[in-house]
C-alpha cells in the first residue's frame, strides 16, 4: 500500500502495530520512483508491542501507551530518524530498529513456535538458549565513531576474498530485485578506517534506537538522528553471566558488563558463519524482526529470504532520512 498510495491526499501514515508493519511501510515508501518525496511524509506508531513508540515516548518522559502515542500524533510534532540500509548484492532492506545475529535472533525467531505462551515465550526460550548455548564463527568490521577507534583490530584484508562471492551466490531474481527507489547512502570510506573482530560470537546486535522492544533497553546511548548505529558484541561469556545480562537488559545496565563491548559505528559489514558445534551451517540474520537470511539447517523455509547466509552483508546509515510523529 505504501508503495502505490497517492501520498498527496494524506498528512501522514499511522501504524497501529508492532514494529514490523511500520518497517514494511518504510520500505514501501523507499521502493517508490518518487521516494525522495514519499519519505518526507511523517510516520506514526501507536504501540501494539512497538520498540519505536517506546523509544519516542520514553525519551519525552511519557509512558508508552496507546493514549500518549495517539495524542502525540494529533499534536503533530515531528522527529527525524536515521534509516539503515542492509545490502547484499542488489538486494536491499531498510531498517529503523535493529539487526541481530546469534543469541537474540535465535530467541526472536525460534520462540515463534511457542507463541501460545504469550509474552512468556521470550523468557522461556531465552533460558532454554542459555542452557544449550550456541556460538557462531564469523567476522565483523565497522567504521567506529570518534572515541572508539581503538576497539577491535586494524583491517588487514579480511573481506577481500568476498568481493565476487555475493553476486555469484544470488539468484537472477535477487540480482534484479531493485530497479528503482532508494538504494542506500552514497560514498565510500578507505579500508584503513575500518576495524575488525573475528572468531566466535554469542551475540551481535546493531541498534538504531534505544528500545528494541517495550521491555528491552538494548542501546541506552542510541540517538534518533545522530548518524550512528550502536553496536553490542558478546563473545566469551559464561552461562551464569549471560543469565545475569538477560535480566539486566530491561534497564540497559547490561552494557556495563565486562563481557559486553558497546560502541557506536558509522558503517558495518559482516560475514556470518556456522555454529561452532553441530551440523547446522548457521543461524539467522534478523532485521527489525524479519529473517533476511538463514543458514542451512536453521528453522524455517529460507526460499523467500531476501539475502543469502554466508556472503558479506553491508549496513550503512543515512542520518535523519525518515520523519516520525513524536511527543
Q: Report how far residue 54's alpha carbon sits from residue 156's, in angstroms, rounded to the nearest whole number.
A: 40
Question: Is 19 noted as a catalytic residue in this protein?
Answer: yes
Q: In Å, how far from its chain's centre is CA 318?
A: 14
80 vs 180: CA distance, rounded Å: 24
Nearest-angstrom CA–CA distance, 250 and 107: 16
327: buried, middle or exposed (CB in 10 Å: 19+, 13-18, 0-12)? middle
Catalytic residue among 6, 11, 19, 288: 19
- Positive/negative CA dihedral, 324, 224, 155, 261: negative
DSSP state of 90: T
- State the pairing for strand pair 43-47/136-144: unpaired
- Look at residue 220 and give its three-state secondary structure: coil
Catalytic residues: 19
Amino acid at each position: 500500500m505504501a508503495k502505490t498510495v497517492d501520498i498527496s491526499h494524506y498528512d501522514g501514515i499511522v501504524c497501529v502495530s508492532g514494529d514490523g508493519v511500520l518497517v514494511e511501510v518504510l520500505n514501501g515508501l523507499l521502493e517508490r520512483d518518487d521516494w525522495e518525496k514519499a519519505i518526507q511524509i511523517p510516520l506514526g506508531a501507536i504501540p501494539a508491542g512497538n520498540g519505536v513508540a517506546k523509544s519516542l515516548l520514553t525519551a519525552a518522559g511519557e509512558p508508552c501507551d496507546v493514549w500518549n502515542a495517539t495524542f502525540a500524533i494529533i499534536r503533530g510534532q515531528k522527529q527525524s530518524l536515521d534509516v539503515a540500509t542492509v545490502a547484499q548484492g542488489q538486494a536491499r532492506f531498510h531498517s529503523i530498529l535493529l539487526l541481530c545475529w546469534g543469541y537474540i535472533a535465535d530467541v526472536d525467531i525460534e520462540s515463534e513456535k511457542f507463541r501460545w505462551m504469550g509474552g512468556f515465550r521470550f523468557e522461556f526460550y531465552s533460558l532454554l538458549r542459555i542452557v544449550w548455548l550456541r556460538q557462531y564463527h564469523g567476522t565483523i568490521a565497522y567504521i567506529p565513531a570518534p572515541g572508539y577507534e581503538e576497539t577491535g583490530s586494524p583491517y588487514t584484508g579480511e573481506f577481500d576474498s568476498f568481493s565476487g562471492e555475493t553476486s555469484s551466490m544470488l539468484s537472477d531474481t535477487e540480482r534484479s530485485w531493485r530497479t528503482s527507489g532508494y538504494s542506500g547512502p552514497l560514498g565510500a570510506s578507505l579500508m584503513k578506517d575500518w576495524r575488525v573482530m573475528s572468531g566466535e560470537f554469542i551475540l551481535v546486535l546493531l541498534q538504531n534506537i534505544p528500545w528494541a522492544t517495550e521491555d528491552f533497553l538494548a542501546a541506552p546511548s542510541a540517538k534518533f538522528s545522530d548518524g550512528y548505529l550502536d553496536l553490542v558484541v558478546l563473545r566469551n561469556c559464561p552461562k551464569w553471566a549471560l543469565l545475569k545480562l538477560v535480566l539486566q537488559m530491561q534497564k540497559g545496565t547490561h552494557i556495563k558488563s565486562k563481557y559486553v563491548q558497546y560502541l557506536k559505528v558509522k558503517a558495518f559489514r559482516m560475514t556470518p558463519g556456522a555454529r561452532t558445534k553441530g551440523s547446522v551451517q548457521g543461524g539467522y540474520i534478523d532485521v527489525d524482526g524479519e529473517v533476511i537470511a538463514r543458514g542451512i539447517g536453521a528453522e524455517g523455509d529460507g526460499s523467500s529470504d531476501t539475502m543469502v547466509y554466508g556472503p558479506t552483508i553491508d549496513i550503512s546509515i543515512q542520518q535523519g532520512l525518515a520523519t516520525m510523529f513524536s511527543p
